[in-house]
């Protein structure tokens, strides 16, 4: 499907941007799902991005600058999109949400819908000059990380999204909790056919695009490719 770019808003140093376009299928997009995006001129393989927000028929995505997709957006203001793809974040009782960098996107959407408590960390203030932070949430910048703050929480249910090193640390830190991880992977088809986003689990190989992107931390092996 195709849509016109409705808005592109950059952070102060243009390290991140929010991309928005209209989407007709109201009430059919859930937190944790993603879309594959490209323009009519490229990139050849569409890029997967988690939904940052969906309100009043407008989809918004939080994207880190510097990729091929952004380069094509400079000359084309039309979006070719495929989605929503993947499974929604599971419904949990009063979960703590922990985000790192652009891993904030799906958790922002979840927090906004469910009024959940959220802790988000970034390398500096740049990200927070662009995004909004839901009420009763906390943001932090390096050297303090989101996990440094989250480790003091007694919350049983936890959902985390961010760089693989952050997720590995969360898995160790909260090994006795009900922890879910939203994985980020390179993918081509978004439906498990190309097998490019494989992840090893306790039930064998699964695919981030169609079996995830949210998995129980106890289920996935984050080190199987190393």
Residue 189: band (very low, low, confident or very high) from pLDDT cuts 50, 70, 90:
confident
pLDDT digits (tens, 9 = 90+) for 153-184: 999 999 999 999 999 999 999 999 999 999 98
Residue 115: band (very low, low, confident or very high) from pLDDT cuts 50, 70, 90:
confident
* ω into 213 cis (within 30 of 0): yes
pLDDT digits (tens, 9 = 90+) for 44-93: 999 999 999 999 999 999 999 999 999 999 999 899 999 999 999 999 99
**Segment 199-211 mean pLDDT:** 92
Residue 149: band (very low, low, confident or very high) from pLDDT cuts 50, 70, 90:
very high
pTM for this model (two decimals): 0.95
- Cβ count near 16 (within 10 Å): 24
Strand-pairing partners, residue 97, are 118, 159
* ω into 143 cis (within 30 of 0): yes
pLDDT digits (tens, 9 = 90+) for 14-32: 999 999 999 987 668 999 9
pLDDT of residue 225: 55
Separation of alpha carbons 111 and 97, rounded Å: 8
Neighbouring residues of 25: CB distance < 8 A, sequence distance ≥ 6: none
pLDDT of residue 26: 65
What residue ranges define each of the domains in the chain, with the CATH number in brackets? Answer: 2-85 (2.40.30.10), 96-216 (3.40.50)
φ, ψ for residue 101 (rounded to 5)? 60, -140
Separation of alpha carbons 70 and 190, rounded Å: 20
């Amino acid at each position: 499907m195709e849509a016109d770019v409705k808005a592109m808003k950059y952070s102060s140093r243009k390290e991140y941007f929010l991309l928005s376009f209209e989407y007709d299928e109201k009430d059919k997009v859930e937190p944790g799902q993603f879309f594959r995006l490209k323009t009519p001129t490229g990139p050849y393989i569409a890029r997967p991005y988690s939904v940052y927000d969906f309100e009043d028929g407008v989809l918004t995505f939080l994207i880190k600058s510097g990729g091929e997709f952004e380069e094509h957006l400079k000359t084309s203001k039309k979006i070719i999109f495929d989605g929503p793809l993947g499974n929604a974040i599971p419904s949990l009782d009063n979960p703590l949400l922990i985000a790192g960098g652009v891993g904030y996107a799906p958790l922002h959407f979840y927090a906004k819908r469910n009024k959940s408590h959220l802790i988000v960390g970034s390398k500096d203030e740049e990200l927070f000059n662009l995004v909004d932070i839901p009420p009763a949430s906390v943001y932090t910048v390096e050297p303090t990380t989101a996990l440094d703050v989250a480790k003091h929480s007694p919350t049983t249910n936890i959902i985390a999204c961010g760089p693989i090193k952050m997720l590995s640390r969360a898995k160790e830190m909260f090994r006795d909790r009900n922890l879910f991880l939203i994985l980020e992977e390179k993918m081509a088809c978004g439906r498990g056919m190309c097998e490019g986003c494989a992840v090893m689990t306790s039930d064998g190989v699964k695919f981030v695009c169609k079996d995830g992107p949210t998995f129980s931390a106890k289920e996935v092996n984050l080190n199987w490719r190393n």
